[in-house]
Amino acid sequence: MATKSEKKQLVYPLLPLRGLLVFPTMVLHFDVGREKSIKALEKCAMTSNQLLLSSQEDGQVDDPTEEDLFHIGTLAKVKQMMKLPNGTIRVLVEGIARARIHRFTKTDEWFEVEVAVQEEQDFSKSNAEYQALMRSVLQQFEQYLKLSKKVDQEAYSSVVDISDPSHFADAVAAHLPLKIREKQQLLEELDVMKRLEKLLQILSDEREILELERNIHQRVRKQMERTQKEYYLREQMKAIQKELGDRDSRSAEVEELRQQLEQKEMPLLVKEKVEKELERLERIPQASAEGTVVRTYLDWLLALPWIETAQQRVDLRRAEKVLNEEHYGLEKIKERILEFLAVQRLSGKMTGPIICLAGPPGVGKTSLARSIATALKRPFVRASLGGVRDEAEIRGHRRTYIGAMPGRIIQGMKSAGVKNPVFLLDEIDKMANDFRGDPSSALLEVLDPEQNQTFSDHYIEIPFDLSDVMFITTANNVYQIPGPLRDRMEIIQLSGYTELEKLNIVKQHLLPRQKEKHALKADQMRISEDVLLMLIRHYTREAGVRQLERVVAAVCRKVARRIASGEKKRITVQTKTIEDFLGPPIYRYGAQEEEDQIGVVNGLAWTETGGDLLSVEVSVVPGKGKLVLTGHLGDVMRESAQTAFSYVRSRAGQFGLQHDFYENVDLHVHVPEGAIPKDGPSAGITMATCLISALTGRRVRRDVAMTGEITLRGRVLPIGGLREKSLAAHRAGIRHVIHPLDNVKDLRDIPQVVRDEMEFHAVKHMDEVVALAFVEPFPLEEFEGFYPTDKMPDILRNTFSGEGAHQ
């Protein structure tokens, strides 16, 4: 038997085929309408009447290129051409041999290629293995023809007498309704033995599929016969009821629900459940209250989006544009959201971490979630979980009484109308629990991508697929979220806005929105940046912009009233008229800059509403050594105060105090705004500095604020929330912040505009805090008992006692 080889390379016109493939020895006619293809036929008619037929990988491409065509095709002879009235050409071709394209010699007016024709194997000598394989293929082909209705039954007689194995394989493959890529694989297979084996496997698979189709068809036919029988009996029942005048509203109700069921697409399990409940509803008497329960249940099953999905394509450029238009700043947050969307675009699935937007009120958590839905062009659903303490709010009520209803998750899916909305679970940290269950535990199944494919609602009682839903949650304090629930979410922290960011937000978003709400035209109200800065500094002190929007709305109302009364047609709001509109300023910007004081230190704290400035005060009075703490302090802050006091006692000599100074005095530590709970270890160095100031009579710098945890030996330990605390100091006019050395890594999270206007001092020991915080620093010799003279740190020499000291 000869080996396969290629003839010398020849040049032929190429005719691209869409949805069609021609095998060697195959005779076929088809219509040609594309301009390049018609020119290729004309060129073929002028030469040898031979051309190469190559199929397109994608039949939808109207103007294919070299990359769109398979590089192994069939060399064919054009036997007949006939021009049709519509301008197309009907051509009759006969396949000659396989040919491989080596290169394209012409691609502009028509395709012309240089090919090498593949020589067929010599089968002149009989081979038992080939004969056995051909018989198996023929047997499978015969069984396939008996089952298939797509192939003409005469196809068997056209291939049964073919003795050449290669021609036999091509003839059988030509009669099979295969996909173009599968036919191309058979065309590219030059080894006839392997080609016959592939063909045998394909025929075997197709025969099994056809047998399954026949079984399914028989089952469907039986079901249709049963359905037609039921329909016939129902129609008879309707006719009997009509003759007897017994046509009640229940029958009409059931008929209406059946029509809805026919029009609704849903899984088979749900459809069977609906049909069962419909039969049950028919048997329930009209006056029974149970009928109302069943009817409501059916309405829910028919209204839920079991299959309906919103068509969406993640457009990152559009998403970035929407986020930038609707939100100023928040660059890291936007970048993280765009990364999340990019992963969804590449994977094509919504599986992945559940986003939790955490931050103070008014920083834009809910509006960010709404912007994500807008960018994805998907419905937006919001469910507020604040105050939810009943597990049934999440999982629904059991259908054991009138008034039972699904949980908020299923309710949200019904209002969305599709199974892949953007679902916002707002205020997830405000949930509680009582004897009725723990709603946070019920949310574990909802927010777990591995479990929510079969979410079970007590009311629906049928698993509902939540895997396509994009869940986003919001929280003010992530530490109030239970650990297992927090573990299922990726926390994205939103801190407060800087003064510059607030100014841009109010100019670009808040002011135009409030003008529109109050029917004020652009030229009817003018307000300068100085006025807006005055509103930010003296009438609000918050991490977000919610109160700022209320203040802007109040100004707009005042202007609208004056314009509506005819007093003025245009009003320019000035700084001197703000007090007439809003009253005297509520906050004093830079209030800590008035004077240096003894026993008063600016501390920094983190709260749910962002950073805050705490003024810690200490008073020394005659007594017996008691330490009194007031100001609604938590246990951790009380321990910090006790630790600071013990540190001062251990260093009494260093600060010029008698070792038993505490036996004749009482120390009263107070943190103002006593109605507000305060807790946390980060006030340690603040309290220690305040105690030292009160006991030694030394003033503390008024433009310094500090945060850090203290140990008994005076070490300063790292704290959290440095960004929020720094923003609070910036809002209050503070220009120097003392923080632990280990928190230097957190400085990069602080906005550049804040870092440019403030100085940050990193310390690792309380002695460095003492050197930085006091107006009149302790003499260096007082520290010699602790630091050797030759190893004294520069921070103790380069204090504020020189240049820049406040005298």
pLDDT at position 795 is 35
Q: How far apart are CA 316 and CA 334, in angstroms?
A: 11
Digit-coded pLDDT (tens) for 205-246: 888 888 888 888 888 777 777 777 777 777 777 677 666 654
Whether the per-residue pLDDT at 797 is higher than 80: the answer is no
Mean of the per-residue pLDDT values of the chain: 81
- Provide the pLDDT confidence category of residue 716 given band limits of 50, 70 and 90: very high
- Provide the pLDDT confidence category of residue 248 given band limits of 50, 70 and 90: low
Digit-coded pLDDT (tens) for 393-446: 888 888 877 778 898 889 999 888 888 888 999 888 888 776 667 788 888 888
Residue 166: active-site member: no
Whether the per-residue pLDDT at 794 is higher than 50: the answer is no
Helix (H) or strand (E) holding 75: strand 72-83
Q: How far apart are CA 72 and CA 17, in angstroms?
A: 13
Digit-coded pLDDT (tens) for 614-666: 889 999 888 888 888 888 888 888 898 899 999 988 888 888 888 888 888 88
Q: How far apart are CA 191 and CA 164, in angstroms?
A: 14
DSSP output for 577-602: HHHHHH-S-SS-TTGGGS--EESEEE
The active-site residue out of 37, 54, 371, 682 is 682
What phi and psi, each to the nearest 5 degrees, are found at residue 737?
-125, 125
| Residue 177 DSSP one-character state | -
**Within 245-289, where are the H helices?**
249-263, 268-283
Residue 725: active-site member: yes
pLDDT at position 760 is 92
What phi and psi, each to the nearest 5 degrees, are found at residue 196?
-65, -40
What Rg value do the Cα atoms of the chain yield, rounded? Answer: 41
Collapse the DSSP code of 573 into the 3-class scheme (helix H, G, I; strand E, B; otherwise coil) and give the result.
Answer: strand
Token readout for 51 is: 């051309």
pLDDT at position 238 is 67
**Within 660-721, where are the H helices?**
684-696
Helix axes 635-650, 684-696, angle to 10 degrees: 50
DSSP output for 323-374: HHHH--S-HHHHHHHHHHHHHHHHH-S--SPEEEEE-STTSSHHHHHHHHHH
pLDDT at position 709 is 92
The active-site residue out of 273, 693, 725, 726 is 725
Q: What share of the chain is helix, strand, coil (3-state, %, to 5)?
A: 45, 20, 35
pLDDT at position 717 is 92
By the 8 A CB rule, do 555 and 573 touch? yes
Contacts of 103 (CB under 8 A, 6+ apart): 113, 114
pLDDT at position 245 is 54
By the 8 A CB rule, do 552 and 520 touch? no
Whether the per-residue pLDDT at 526 is higher than 70: the answer is yes
